[in-house]
Amino acid sequence: MIRLSDYDTIFFDCDGVILDSNKIKTEAFAASLESYPETLVEEFLEYHKEHNGVSRYEKFKYFFTSMNPSNDKERRISSSLEKYSSITRESLLSCNLIPGILNTLEMISKTSKKVFVITGGDEEEVKFVFKRRLLDKHFTDILGSPKTKAQNMGKVLNEHREIGRCIFFGDSKIDFEVAVSFECDFVFVSEKSEWLEGEDFVRQNRCKSIPNFLEIY
């Protein structure tokens, strides 16, 4: 059992942890690259899933630098980012929440705990979506790309020095790595994760795992 009362500071990833949006992001990457060979796009989507938590900026940069090199790289990256953003923003406004997360956030809001979103998603986009969905009120701050998760965790520690004991709810290997590097307990949220090896990985590393937030107290 995970008792939030044991913690002073709580970190949440966004996609697959707060919003049921991992599939939305995967489909948006595919649509943004629909003019490229299908086999290449499929290979890229596997890369995307294996690197869940890495920003869209880095992923498109990888595609146009390593997978499909182009002399017109910057323009292609910019065009793909624009298309990707136009697809995801509207979808994120209406997608489901991960079961139990809203009750969990409302419960935490009644305490004095610091609560942060640390996401690989675009920071401005996530703040826009959370404000429209009235979720922003539950968080001390929302931090995302183009900065990395590690950079944003470092920022939190610099600006909020007394964070005490902390816990990180994530659904990717990067979330695990960031949590460990900043001495946070890690909890794998599995139900909507696209991290195929996630369950085995967290078991081997003796981390806690939950499908969703229906039994968080």
Residue 43, pLDDT score:
95
pLDDT reading at 117 higher than 80? yes
pLDDT, mean of residues 69-90: 91
Q: For residues 84 and 101, state if they share a domain.
A: no
Nearest in space to 172 (alpha carbons), one of 145, 204, 199, 141 = 199
What's the pTM? Answer: 0.89
Q: For residues 114 and 53, state if they share a domain.
A: no
Question: Mean pLDDT for the chain?
Answer: 93
Query: End of a domain among 54, 75, 94?
Result: 94
Q: Is residue 177 part of a domain?
A: yes
Structural domains of the chain, count: 2
Q: Is residue 138 part of a domain?
A: yes
Q: For residues 59 and 85, state if they share a domain.
A: yes
Q: For residues 55 and 127, state if they share a domain.
A: no
Residue 89 pLDDT class (50, 70, 90 cuts): confident
Q: Is residue 217 part of a domain?
A: no
- What span, in angstroms and rounded, lies between the C-alpha atoms of 29 and 4? 35
Residue 70, pLDDT score:
84
Q: For residues 45 and 114, state if they share a domain.
A: no
pLDDT reading at 71 higher than 90? no
Which residue reads 């599939």 in tokens? Answer: 23
Backbone angles phi, psi at 70, to 5 degrees: -140, 140
Residue 54, pLDDT score:
85
Residue 162, pLDDT score:
80
Residue 1 pLDDT class (50, 70, 90 cuts): confident
Query: End of a domain among 94, 116, 139?
Result: 94
Q: For residues 110 and 14, state if they share a domain.
A: yes
173-205 burial, b at 16+ Cβ within 10 Å, e below that, comes to bbbbebbeebebbbbbbbbbbbbeebeeebeee
Q: Is residue 153 part of a domain?
A: yes
Q: Is residue 215 part of a domain?
A: no
Q: Six-digit token pair at 11?
A: 């970190």
pLDDT, mean of residues 155-165: 88
Residue range(s) defining the domain that contains residue 56: 23-94
Half-sphere exposure of residue 18: CA atoms within 13 angstroms, side-chain side = 28
pLDDT, mean of residues 10-32: 95
Residue 16, pLDDT score:
95
Q: For residues 29 and 16, state if they share a domain.
A: no
| Positive/negative CA dihedral, 79, 43, 148, 141 | positive
Using omega within 30 degrees of 0 as the cis cutoff, is the peptide bond preceding 146 cis?
Answer: yes
Q: Is residue 216 part of a domain?
A: no
Residue 214, pLDDT score:
94
Q: For residues 134 and 204, state if they share a domain.
A: yes
